[in-house]
Structure 1
């Protein structure tokens, strides 16, 4: 899970779905993966500067960074600091929604109770994290003001303006529900905002589920132990109320205290009522959801043509009394499974990738597996430029291009690299079709 939701991998997964469903996956800032895409970043930055009256600003985040470490803001590609690490660079969201003049974001807690079938719950309470310096549009004079532009608690707690309170209505850390109440009082449609947040969560999980399936099968065989995970979705609202996904944290803090200097050089851990209000019921719900399910679970579900499980009308996936689940709502598949079924097309590609790996437990497809895939799909078509030699060249080229994602030195093509090959072959094999239709046709050929 940690590898899949790292900033670069998450960005690639969302970009892949955006290429197929641009209107459904427009909740993530435009991103580039550096240093590999530095040339593309320079070209895009130049176009953005030409098309807009205001100067475009970018935010640089280290791929494996956490707690705001290593994040900085730039106005020109030449300001990017090359080093040995990988980074994601995104267009900076310059029009955030403000409350009391301060920028804030939401930490939304999400429970993945099952991967096969995918079950996702959203906790209806979360943290709202505030900056500690009033917001201004980023300029040369304030780009360095981390307390103005970055909402990370680990940064802002060191600010002289950070306010610890026992109330959830003020302070630098509040509950999401208290902030939504404040926004409602200011005339915002908070029901629409929350519904959009739920959809962002559901679509993001749909985007990463295929690669999670690959990782899961590499570690555990079918019928093995089940797993669950608590995720932290960091979501920023624009001034129009549109939720924008900043990142996903695979290990969100579940602490209900904070460190405070009570005397020079003397620190104590102080209880945080706001954190406890949110995290204690979150953990309780998670343990209930992770408990062994009734053996007749599948009898209450139907499998769709896309390979996802949908509960029968009126049935409950969870056999315990619903009052035991206090703050979590199943957003997938119960609430949005039917509506978003058509977005799960890449689940089928993951099955093809797994079937062609050849080596159990492997996460990378070798040249033999790639040839097996092209043979099963009957892809040879010289009129379209599809020959065995071209397949070999494509595999070598893609393996070299995707080698930057190979942290463990394993040979072969990763799942995202395989998807790039699959998309390219689909468009060549069915040149008269749209990208999505071509991909679905190739999937039909492959299964």
Structure 2
């Protein structure tokens, strides 16, 4: 396996041209993004590193995922245009789970996403729902409800089809989602369309979200008709994906960026067209709902995004080493209500298209509308990254230097411990942790009887505990300020950004109403619990012992909820998720599984609270208080 090259913060970045600092951007992993990226760098006069470079760049631009190539960003203060784990978090199944959790707690706030089932996992529930809906349809003498099936890992419209009868679902080894089809979409000139909105997640700590002021609208190429038995197969009518419709004989390429009849149009042009159908207040309300949808969706994935981040990069600094442009695909109903279709972790930044010539060969041609939309997006993002970086450069260099020393110590400890078996590592680390925190834990952890200890051991024999030798236990936790900072930053309601907007990028989070999304930070607190109990101790997933410890410090254990019952719940959730989580190399509860277990414990412990939300708040606050006691004493 190739050794990862440290990106040292001590090395000089960029170059100086006539006394002026010239930023340096590594494009060795840019691939399909290279054309638009290179145009922007040339316009800015910045230096491009094409094949990787020993000198650390200011920005690393990747086309797909955070970890591309062999560079170790744990040593670097450079910024990368991808967040760790973002691709997985935005797959259709993962995104749906995150949104479903939030909808369970805040049903009225998350009604912008269609009702969705996972297949084959929830095939039985889907069949029952479809049967019930169709019975209702027949009673009301209306067309049968239609559903749309999508591969979880699909893109560009591949593998999508419409069904009415659940028996028509084509079961494969590939996971799918199935949703209620939006059968009353808003039309322009009789055609269905969807909107690609570009969003920049600029920081995690504190969270900063920017909305690009231009977007791309993709049109179907056959006039829309409500779904029926005779037209379910007509993809050019029901699907708006460019990759599908470009094959249609009716597809119209834009000869210039303002062509009003093209199959691909600028969002500002479409808003102008819609202003002729709706009042200005209705159009502005739709725009506001889209902004709220974006913020709520990102808040739904944010807890796992933080966990992925701290699992990949040092815990000693703010989570601002990454940024990412993501694409929201949205459809409008005939009442101008925005509905979220999906979120793309890697929206296409191509500024050309493939055209078939007279000889039947496909050749690449420039796309004026794509360049008009995507070039300013990339250009302003690059400028903003360097603007913010220059404002924070001194502190970045100091922190990065400290990071390097800490990580080097971790590497030395890792090499020494690598030859030991997992059980021995785990026992030694548990012993160190117990010695260090024994006095503190007495305040929050109840005494266990000998019988309960035997129950712990027997359960752990059944459920294997995950030990991650590439994470380094208890190295960072000795620094109190470091431990205290994550929760205080997570719960910080407001902050004063250095820059709130840059030309075409508008900050939409944080908002001018600091309390607007405050309740939705509940999952952030749960992520803090998971990070403190799992990630900071060098694990990738929650072991049975850690789950039992969580139950103890949260005050859940009593006469009705015993240690054995907590162990049983852990085992049930573990085996349930093991059957469909695509990470077989690790054992233990991943964060979504921990959320499910926490919800069940909250309902049992606080059954009189009235709502699930109230129960979860009580349990979470109890645990957070105890964790803060352990840290601050």
TM-score range, shorter chain: over 0.9
- Tell me whether 1:268 sits opposite 2:359 in the alignment: no
1:173 and 2:357 matched: no
Whether 2:219 is the aligned partner of 1:43: answer no
1:267-416 matched pairs, under 5 angstroms:
267-291=362-386, 292=389, 294-295=391-392, 307-312=491-496, 316-318=497-499, 325-335=502-512, 337-357=514-534, 362-383=539-560, 386-403=561-578, 404-416=580-592
Whether the aligned pair in 1 keeps the contact of 2:115 and 2:180 (CA below 8 Å) is: yes
Residue of structure 1 equivalent to 2:248 = 159
How many residues align? The count is 434
In structure 2, relative to structure 1, the CA distance for the partners of 1:127 and 1:220 (3 Å cut) is: same
Contact 2:206 2:489 in 1 (8 A): no
- Contact 1:118-1:333 at 8 Å conserved across structures: yes
Structure 2 residue aligned with 1:244: 339
Q: CA deviation at 1:198?
A: 0.7
Question: Is the Cα contact below 8 Å between 2:195 and 2:216 reproduced in 1?
Answer: yes
Query: Which residue of 238, 245, 257 corresponds with 1:149?
Result: 238
| Cα-to-partner distance string for 1:197-239 (whole Å, 9 max, x where unaligned) | 1111011001110111111111112327600111000000000
- Cα offset, 1:26, TM superposition: 0.2
- Residue 187 of structure 1, CA deviation: 2.2
SS of 1:294's partner is helix
Which range moves more in the overlay, 365-374 or 342-351? 365-374
SS at match of 1:275: helix
- Higher helix residue share: 2
Secondary structure, in 3 states, of the residue corresponding to 2:348? Answer: coil
The 1:237/1:208 distance shift into structure 2, 3 A limit, reads same
Identify which of 173, 182, 186 aligns with 1:93: 182
CA apart distance, 1:310: 1.8
Task: Report the CA distance between 1:393 and its aligned residue.
Answer: 1.1
Deviation by residue 1:304-358 (Cα, 9 ceiling, x = unmatched): 896145234xxx4328xx5xx2211111113464311221111000010111216
Going from structure 1 to structure 2, the CA distance change for 1:23 and 1:120 (only over 3 Å counts) comes to same
Q: Distance in 2 between matches of 1:57 and 1:48?
A: 10
Aligned partners of 2:309 and 2:97: how far apart in 1?
A: 19
Residue 218 of structure 2: which of 120, 129, 134 is its match? 129
Cα distance in 2 between the residues matched to 1:77 and 1:40: 11
- CA separation of 1:305/1:256 partners in 2, compared to 1, >3 Å: closer, same or farther? closer
Structure with larger Rg: 2
Work out whether residues 293 and 318 of structure 1, in 8 Å CA contact, stay in contact via their aligned partners in 2.
Answer: no
Unmatched 5+ stretches in structure 2: 1-85, 397-486, 625-633
Equivalence for 1:76: 165
Render the CA deviation track for 1:238-288: whole Å, top value 9, x for unaligned.
Answer: 000000000000000001111111222332211111111111111012113
Q: Partners of 1:218 and 1:128 in 2: how far apart? A: 37
Counterparts of 1:240 and 1:178, CA distance in 2: 19
Q: Aligned pair 1:424/2:600, yes or no?
A: yes
Long gaps (5+) in structure 1:
none
Equivalent residues of 1:129, 1:152 under 8 A apart: yes
Other structure's SS at 1:193 match: helix
Structure 1 partner of 2:627: none
Query: What secondary structure, in the 3-state scheme, does the structure 2 residue paired with 1:25 have?
Result: coil
Please give the secondary structure, in 2, of the residue aligned with 1:311: coil
Q: What TM-score, normalized to structure 2?
A: 0.66
Structure 2 residue 291 is the aligned partner of structure 1 residue 198: yes
Moved more, 188-197 or 16-25: 188-197
- 1:167 deviates by 3.7
Verify the 8 A CA contact 1:108 1:232 in the aligned structure 2.
yes
Question: Distance in 2 between the 1:210 and 1:50 partners?
Answer: 40
Deviations 1:148-195 (Å, cap 9, x if unpaired)? 111110000011110002143220000111011000011242111111
User: Residue 13 of structure 1 aligns with which residue?
Assistant: 98
- 1:18 and 1:123 mapped to 2: Cα distance? 27
* TM-score, normalised relative to structure 1: 0.93
Q: Measure, in 1, the Cα distance between the counterparts of 2:370 and 2:333.
A: 25
Distance 1:61 1:342 in 2: 32
Matched residues in 1 for 2:375 and 2:512: separation? 25
